Structure 1
Amino acid sequence: MHPNDGFRELDRQECLHRLARAPLGRIVYTRQALPAVLPVNFSLDDDGAVLLRTAADSELTRAIDGVVVAFETDEVDTGTHSGWSVVVTGMATVVTDPSEHSRLCRVGPRSWAPSPREVFVRVQPELVTGRELMGGRTMYGTDLSA
């Protein structure tokens, strides 16, 4: 990022802090050899892994188990032209350990569309990046937030 482009890079800890506050995100994966994006609710585990809860037999579960995915969340204020975005890239795996599944039933995300048989998907945070758009900056003496 260029120092005057209006963006500020977020470090890993700041990214994880913002992720923990966000109610929704987007899982980015491949479907039929094409990019696919699906909005999901989520939570963060103690190690910073993104946790999803979904139907065990869903297309999403089949598509992302054992593959690298991206997960993105953001917050935008169109009035002030400011906001932030965080992207987590890593391996997605269905949680199969019964004790881990029980733990996540207590502390993990709650599904907004419950299913009779649900699984948890963990996205290990191999790469965590983020940036913040600083609103109201000026360029050549012109206020861009007006």
Structure 2
Amino acid sequence: MNLDAATDHSGLRVMTTDECLERLGSAPIGRVAFVQGGEVVVLPVHHVMHGTDICFRTSGSSKIEAAADHDPMSYEVDDFDISTRSGWSVTVAGVAAILDDDEVVADVESRDPMPWTIGDPSMSVWVRIRPDSITGRELEPV
């Protein structure tokens, strides 16, 4: 355990922004969270990083509607090793938007060799979450 590392109130190590971005890039599946009709919706999606932005392809109308309205959206990835009782979690909070820049779409599509959408990928859109905050915590092995 790194005794010099910052910890939160529960003793979890606070990850740096660079560590958080590295973990986001290494975990292709996460959970997107947003509010629809007064209810919190949490759904699994496959993402691609574009700088610090989270980008994911969807044909789901609720996610598209939230992005088109520039709603707040959060994203979370994590990993846990039960044998060492260690793990980490990274959360991104930001604003969603439909990704309509053709150059950026081409870039994220080139790094998404296996689209995780049901049906014809051409019938889906890319959503981008532009972060307002990126935070991470790590439970280090004891």
Show structure 2 runs of 5+ residues with no match: 1-7
Show structure 1 runs of 5+ residues with no match: 137-146
Between the aligned residues of both structures, percent identity stands at: 33
Correspondence 1:21-100 to 2 at 5 A: 21-45=26-50, 47-55=51-59, 58-65=61-68, 66-100=70-104
Aligned pair count reads 132
Offset, 1:24: 0.8
**RMSD of aligned residue pairs (Cα, Å):** 1.8
Distance across 2 between alignment mates of 1:109 and 1:39: 18
Provide the residue aligned with 2:107 in structure 1.
Answer: 103
Offset, 1:69: 0.7
- Aligned equivalent of 2:132, options 126, 133, 144: 126
Runs of 4+ in 1 over 6 A off after TM superposition: none
* Partner secondary structure for residue 52 of structure 2: coil
Once the two structures are superposed, residues 3-60 of structure 1 have per-residue CA deviations (whole angstroms, 9 ceiling, x without a partner) of xx44100011110011100021000101211111001111111x210010111x6222
* Partner secondary structure for residue 110 of structure 2: helix
Offset, 1:118: 1.5
Offset, 1:108: 4.4
Distance across 1 between alignment mates of 2:114 and 2:94: 22
- The answer (yes or no) to whether the contact 2:34–2:74 under 8 Å persists in 1 is yes
Distance across 1 between alignment mates of 2:18 and 2:103: 28
TM-score (norm 2): 0.83
- The structure number with the bigger radius of gyration is 1
1:9 and 2:8 correspond: no
